[in-house]
C-alpha cells in the first residue's frame, strides 16, 4: 500500500512520518519501507516504530546520502533495519552514510525507477537501496507467514555479506 507522508519536494514532518508508520500497521502491513530520514531525533519515532513492530511490521529505512557516520532517523531507531547503499562493485557507494547504526547494505547506484506518466529513470541513493531490503522482507513473509519481525530481521542480517558499511 503506498502511503505518502512527504510533499512533492520530499519534505514533511516527524508527525506525518509517524502517522504513516502507525496507519500502515493499523491496516495490517507486514513491511514498512521508509525511504526517508533526517538527522534530528524525536522520541515520536521510537513510539511509532515500537507500535508498528509490536503489530508485526518489519520496518526498513534508508541510512542517508551524505557520506558521513552520523545516525539518521528513523533509521537509527531500535526495531528498524537501516540500509546503506552499495555500488556496482558491491562496495559502499561514495555518497552512502555508514556507521554502527547501519544494519545492511543493498544496491543503491543506477537503480531504475518510475516517474509520472509512464516514464522511467535511474536514481542513486539509500532511498533506492531500502526498498530492495523491504522487498526481500516481504518475500520472506510470504514464504513463511509465521515468521515475525525478529525472525525476518535476524535472517536478513545474519545471511547478508558484511561489507563494513
Q: Is the pLDDT of residue 122 over 80?
A: yes
User: pLDDT band at 153, cuts 50/70/90?
Assistant: very high
Calculate what percentage of the chain has a pLDDT beyond 90. Answer: 91
Q: Which residue has the higher pLDDT, 2 or 106?
A: 106
- What tens digit of pLDDT does each residue of 69-80 get? 999 999 999 999
Q: CA-CA distance, 64 to 84, in Å (whole number)?
A: 7
- Tell me the pLDDT tens digit for each residue of 34-62: 999 999 999 999 999 999 999 999 999 99
What is the average per-residue pLDDT within 120-137? 98
Q: How far apart are CA 101 and CA 37, in angstroms?
A: 13
The pLDDT assigned to 30 comes to 97
- The predicted model scores a pTM of 0.95
pLDDT confidence bin for 150, thresholds 50/70/90: very high
Helices (H), the chain: 14-26, 43-54, 126-143, 149-158
What the chain holds in terms of domains, given with CATH numbers, is 14-158 (3.40.50.200)
Amino acid at each position: 500500500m503506498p502511503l505518502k507522508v512527504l510533499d512533492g519536494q520530499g519534505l514533511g514532518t516527524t508527525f506525518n512520518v509517524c502517522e504513516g508508520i502507525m496507519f500502515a500497521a493499523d491496516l495490517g502491513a507486514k513491511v514498512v519501507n521508509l525511504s526517508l530520514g533526517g538527522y534530528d531525533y524525536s522520541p515520536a519515532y521510537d513510539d511509532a516504530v515500537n507500535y508498528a513492530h509490536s503489530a508485526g511490521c518489519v520496518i526498513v529505512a534508508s541510512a542517508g546520502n551524505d557520506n558521513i557516520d552520523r545516525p539518521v532517523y528513523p533509521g537509527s531507531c531500535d526495531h528498524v533495519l537501516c540500509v546503506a547503499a552499495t555500488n556496482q562493485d558491491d562496495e559502499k557507494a561514495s555518497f552512502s552514510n555508514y556507521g554502527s547504526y547501519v544494519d545492511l547494505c543493498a544496491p543503491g547506484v543506477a537503480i531504475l525507477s518510475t516517474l509520472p506518466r509512464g516514464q522511467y529513470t535511474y536514481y542513486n541513493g539509500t532511498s533506492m537501496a531500502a526498498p530492495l531490503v523491504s522487498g526481500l522482507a516481504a518475500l520472506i513473509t510470504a514464504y513463511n507467514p509465521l515468521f515475525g519481525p525478529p525472525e525476518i530481521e535476524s535472517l536478513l542480517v545474519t545471511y547478508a555479506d558484511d561489507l563494513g558499511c
